[in-house]
Amino acid sequence: MNELIDYVIVSVVLVAIGIYGLVVKRNAVRMLFALEIIANAANLNLIAFSRNLSNAQGQVFALFSIAIAAAEVAVGLGIIIIAYRLYKEIDVEEFKSMRG
Amino acid sequence: MADPVFIGIAALTVGSAIISLESRELIYGAIALAISMLGIAGFFILLDSPFVAMFQITVYVGAVAVLVIFTVMLVRTQALFSKREDKGRKSAGFVLMLILMAGMGSLIIVSGINSKTFGSPQAPAVDFTAIGKQMLTYYSPALILLALTLAGAVIGALALARREEIEQTNERTD
C-alpha cells in the first residue's frame, strides 16, 4: 500500500524540477511548461491528503485548481502569441520593452 | 513500501517532466508535458479519485496539450530551437534544484507525516456524489466565480489574439 509520504516526495521532486525550469529556461513556452508542472505537483498533494483524510474538500479544491490552470494557460499562450508578433521571438530576454 | 505500479508512474511522471524542459525541440517538449500530466492522472486513479483523474485527462491532456501544440505550430521554426543556455545559470539552477529537493524532502521526512497522523490509506474513498454536493452547496459562490473567471479568460485571450489591421482589410474587401 502506498503511504502518504511517497506522494508528497514525488510532488517535492516535481516542484524542484519546475523551479529549475523557471530559473534556467528563457523560452516563454518552456517557462509555461514549468509553471504547469508546479501546479500539478500542488494538485497531487491536495488529492493525496484528501484520500488519507477521506475528505471531499481536497478533491473540490483540486478541480477548481485544474480549471484555473486551464484559464491561465489560455491567457499565457495568448500573451506569447502577441509577444511573438511584436518581437518575432519567444525568448523572454528579447522582450525589451517589458524590462523595468 | 510503495508498490511497483506507483514506482512506474512516478518514473514516468518525473522523467517526462524533465524531458519536457530539456528536449531540443519544443514540440517534443509539449508531448512530454502531456505524458507527464497523464502520469499525474494515474496517481489520481491510484488515490481512488477517478472523477478528478478524468477531469485532469480532459483538461490537460485534451485541451492544454492541444493548445500548446497549436501555439508551437504558429510560432516560426527557428525560434523553437532553444539557444544554448548560459552555462553558469544552468549549473546554478541545477544546484538550486538539488538544494530545494534535499531541503524540502528532508524537512518532510523529519516532520514525520505519515498515514497515521493524517488518516489512513485504508479510510473509505471519497464518493464523487459528495464532490457534487459540496460544489453545489458550500462552494457554489466559488463555482460561479470560477465560471466568470473562465469566461473572462476566454474573452481576454480572444481579444489579445485578434488582429485589427487584418479585420479592417477584410471589411474593406467585403
Q: What is the ipTM of this complex?
A: 0.90
Whether the CB of A44 is below 8 Å from some CB of chain B: the reply is yes
Q: Is B1-82 a domain of CATH 3.30.530.50?
A: no
The pLDDT of residue A52 is 86
The pLDDT of residue A90 is 79
pTM, whole model, 2 decimals?
0.87
Measured CA to CA in angstroms, residue B1 lies from A5, A10, A52, B6, B127 at distances of 10, 14, 16, 10, 26
**Residues in chain B within 8 Å Cβ distance of A74:** 67, 153-154, 157
CB atoms within 10 A of CB A99: 7
Amino acid at B126: V
Whether the CB of A12 is below 8 Å from some CB of chain B: the reply is yes
Residue whose grid cell is 501544440: B69
The pLDDT of residue A14 is 94
> B126 to chain A nearest CA, in Å?
6
CATH number where A8 lies = 1.10.287.3510
Which residue range is the domain that position A79 belongs to?
Answer: 4-98
**Alpha helices for chain B (secondary structure H):** 4-22, 26-46, 50-56, 65-74, 77-80, 87-111, 128-136, 140-161, 164-173
Higher pLDDT, A93 or B136: B136
Q: Under an 8 A CB cutoff, do A54 and B123 touch?
A: yes
Residue whose grid cell is 497522523: B117
Q: Which three cell numbers stand for residue B12?
A: 514516468
3-state secondary structure of B96: helix
Question: How many domains does the structure of chain A reveal?
Answer: 1
Domain with CATH 1.20.120.1200 in chain B: 1-82
> A30 to chain B nearest CA, in Å?
6
